[in-house]
Structure 1
Amino acid sequence: MSNDSSLPDVWEASDWANTSQCPPSVGGATFLIVAYSAVIAIGLLGNAGLVFIIARQQELRNVTNILIANLSCSDILMCVVCLPVTVIYTLMDRWVLGEALCKVTPFVQCMSVTVSIFSLVLIALERHQLILHPTGWSPAAGHSYLAVGLTWLVACFISLPFLSFNILTNDPFQNISLPANPFRDHLICMELWPSDKHRLAYTTSLLLFQYCLPLLLVLLCYLRIFLRLRRRRFDNFRCSAYCGRAQRINAMLLAIVIAFALCWLPLNVFNALFDWNHQALPDCQHDAVFSACHLMAMASTCINPVVYGFLNSNFQRELRSTLQRCQCGNQTAESYESFPLSTVGSEGMTKFTPSLSLSRQSEAADWVNPDHPADC
């Protein structure tokens, strides 16, 4: 799933010669530069803004927000390390960035993707626990920090093979039968495994445990949550507003998962096809197909700030307040009730006073935790 910044060692010398004779067009190269630049800009600014706002406000540091911030951190790492390197490698069709980046780039990308999918799993499990077992154990902020640390450790361990088996070499170009070999001094970053069986076992395991099984677990959690909230709505009319708010929040989080799955699906299919039958891919269209699949996968770095942040009125309000403080110095920013960033916290239901108007009560209700069963 994550080995997309280098080409595996299953190609023969003739394969490299054929693809090297199909340079990208000027229009295609321009499109790649513009598209990747847009993804990098949106991913960096959006995710950095989301992390900044969550870290800046103490009341925003509930379990789900911490996991959302962790998801954004992994996307930032992807934007900083992997995207620029992949653009350079794809356009130049050879590696000019040194041996260290040859090993580090696929390692970082695998680690970042693993952290992202594990964060989505943890968010789904937290929602499942809070809504299906509201009177049972509920995670606290300290538990989320521990989970974040373990997630990065496991992701590092899973990604270690890329540090061992990615090498910088010009071997595929040495035996090309051309009168004057123009590629003899070209270097490529590729995987060199002990055998094809080892490589296929690892890449297939990544596909299963880094994509298929986690997403299946997440979808199962949200399906059970949906069924439970629908039953609550029919069982008790007093739960109608509560369940409606909870379903809106869960729908937003589920949208992040589905968008992530759809963005990474083409690249996973491409990698699986390349691993098992690379000759099925046409030589001159290989780079174009790969670039399209990779660009769609990298667009996943923009999902978190767009879906969770910029479609969330609470985030927009915090962002406006922060920008006003930056522009106006010590001037007082717009005054409003300081509620949590989202309604996905694990704290208890806030009690409203009679002095609040109906409109303010409705606004406040959208900020509190929808998972507490007290009013149901």
Structure 2
Amino acid sequence: MSNNSSFLGFWEAADWANTSQCPPSVGGATFWIIAYSAIIAIGLLGNAGLVFIIARQQELRNVTNILIANLSCSDILMCVVCLPVTVIYTLMDRWVLGEALCKVTPFVQCMSVTVSIFSLVLIALERHQLILHPTGWSPAAGHSYLAVGLTWLVACFISLPFLSFNILTNDPFQNISLPSNPFRDHLICMELWPSDKHRLAYMTSLLLFQYCLPLLLVLLCYLRIFLRLKRRRDTLERSRRTQGAQRINVMLLAIVVAFALCWLPLNVFNTLFDWHHQALPDCQHDAIFSACHLTAMASTCINPVVYGFLNSNFQKELKSTLQRCQCGNRAAESYESFPLSTVGSEGMTKASSLNRMGSKSNNNNKEQDADNQHPY
């Protein structure tokens, strides 16, 4: 799921000559600037607010919330580093930001995307474990910090080729056969691989391990969760979950659908470009890429909404934080058992506490305890 922000570097000399006949659209450029700026602002504010509230409140530091904060941190990194650079490069059709950013930007984008999808997978796996096996092993906060560290290490390793093979050059402009070559002094940030086979193998691997396989695993986890919740027929249990069951299902579905739909257009574009870039129209390839990339970057705004702003506890804490900033007084707060978390990983309901003290309870009651820890 690479950004392909350096896709301009693959265009042949003849393609550059053709694009020189395509006049830039002032209205189009204005639209992209406004759209990207809105995503940057919303993504930064939403994710920063989510991380701030989770970090500020001890009650919120359970496994799922730590993974959510990790997901938000990767989105913040994307908004700060990748989005502004992509806007400048796409609008100017040349690189003016220096060699360091030429190498760092695609590396950071690939790393951020990898951390995001790994976080989504870990959240799905935790839900799967705690809903389908509520009496078995459950991860603790220490495990989540270890998982966060491993995701960043693995993401860095996967993204290293961008540091090695991204270069700043003007070679594609030198052989353009025009009476007056306006691109001769232009620089582009492009990927220079040992061979085209190496590039295709790496990009195809990214598509599989950053999109297809993680999405399949997440869908499988949520499908099993839906089936488990559907099989529970106890009348008392159903009556206690009547109000929240619909929101749980909608929330789980929104997580998967938002991720899949946001990144699908860019992955289709990247796949088409990697294997047959001549199929892309000369004058519209920038606009097509920008539309696909903008859709993918919208995921940085969706995550805070899905994980935070649709949760009543997050809204209460956000209002309380704003009131403290305005008045300097700490307002009284009330929390659900496990705010923001899909399943509380480190707390126990009264029933589960009694079970540990020796009271008799069957597995269905324990499963009910795990469900009651769901915040939605």
TM over 0.5, yes or no? yes
Residue equivalent to 1:93: 93
Shift of 1:242: 5.5
Residue equivalent to 1:239: 237
Question: Contact 1:43–1:75 at 8 Å: present in 2 too?
Answer: yes
Task: State the distance in 1 between where 2:256 and 2:19 align.
Answer: 35
Give secondary structure in 2 for the equivalent of 1:168: strand
Residue equivalent to 2:137: 137
Task: State the distance in 2 between where 1:242 and 1:166 align.
Answer: 56
Task: State the distance in 1 between where 2:339 and 2:49 align.
Answer: 13
Give secondary structure in 2 for the equivalent of 1:5: coil
Task: State the distance in 2 between where 1:12 and 1:318 align.
Answer: 54
Residue equivalent to 2:163: 163
159 and 246 in structure 1: CA distance in 2 versus 1, 3 angstrom threshold: farther
Question: How many residue pairs are counted as aligned between the two chains?
Answer: 355
Note if 1:62 corresponds to 2:62.
yes
Shift of 1:19: 2.3
In the TM superposition, what are the counterparts of 1:344-355 in structure 2 within 5 Å?
344-351=343-350
Task: State the distance in 1 between where 2:298 and 2:335 align.
Answer: 34
Task: State the distance in 2 between where 1:370 and 1:221 align.
Answer: 16
User: Which amino acid is 2:11 matched to?
Assistant: W
Note if 1:41 corresponds to 2:51.
no
User: Which amino acid is 1:278 matched to?
Assistant: H
239 and 347 in structure 1: CA distance in 2 versus 1, 3 angstrom threshold: farther
RMSD in angstroms over aligned alpha carbons? 1.9
Residue equivalent to 1:256: 255
Task: State the distance in 1 between where 2:347 and 2:371 align.
Answer: 8
Question: Contact 1:349–1:372 at 8 Å: present in 2 too?
Answer: no
User: Which amino acid is 2:117 matched to?
Assistant: I
Following superposition, which runs of at least 4 residues in structure 1 exceed 6 angstroms of deviation?
Answer: none
Residue equivalent to 2:73: 73
Residue equivalent to 1:299: 298
Cα deviation, 1:213-239, whole Å, max 9, x if unaligned, reads 00000000000000001111x2x1222
Give secondary structure in 1 for the equivalent of 2:122: helix
TM-score by length of 2: 0.90
Gaps of 5+ in 2: 352-367
Residue equivalent to 1:317: 316
Task: State the distance in 2 between where 1:201 and 1:241 align.
Answer: 53
Task: State the distance in 1 between where 2:278 and 2:67 align.
Answer: 41
117 and 247 in structure 1: CA distance in 2 versus 1, 3 angstrom threshold: farther
User: Which amino acid is 2:291 matched to?
Assistant: A
Question: Contact 1:167–1:191 at 8 Å: present in 2 too?
Answer: yes
128 and 337 in structure 1: CA distance in 2 versus 1, 3 angstrom threshold: closer
20 and 64 in structure 1: CA distance in 2 versus 1, 3 angstrom threshold: farther
Residue equivalent to 1:218: 218
Question: Contact 1:3–1:106 at 8 Å: present in 2 too?
Answer: yes
Residue equivalent to 2:124: 124
Question: Contact 1:65–1:345 at 8 Å: present in 2 too?
Answer: no
Residue equivalent to 2:326: 327
240 and 349 in structure 1: CA distance in 2 versus 1, 3 angstrom threshold: farther
Shift of 1:241: 4.5
Q: Which moved more, 1:247-256 or 1:6-15?
A: 247-256
Task: State the distance in 2 between where 1:238 and 1:180 align.
Answer: 80
User: Which amino acid is 1:170 matched to?
Assistant: N
50 and 195 in structure 1: CA distance in 2 versus 1, 3 angstrom threshold: same
Shift of 1:9: 4.8
User: Which amino acid is 1:2 matched to?
Assistant: S
Gaps of 5+ in 1: 353-367
User: Which amino acid is 2:48 matched to?
Assistant: A
TM-score by length of 1: 0.90
In the TM superposition, what are the counterparts of 1:269-308 in structure 2 within 5 Å?
269-308=268-307
Residue equivalent to 2:176: 176
User: Which amino acid is 2:51 matched to?
Assistant: V
Cα deviation, 1:132-188, whole Å, max 9, x if unaligned, reads 111111001110000000000000000000000111000000000011111000000
Cα deviation, 1:275-298, whole Å, max 9, x if unaligned, reads 011011000011111110010011
Question: Contact 1:347–1:369 at 8 Å: present in 2 too?
Answer: no
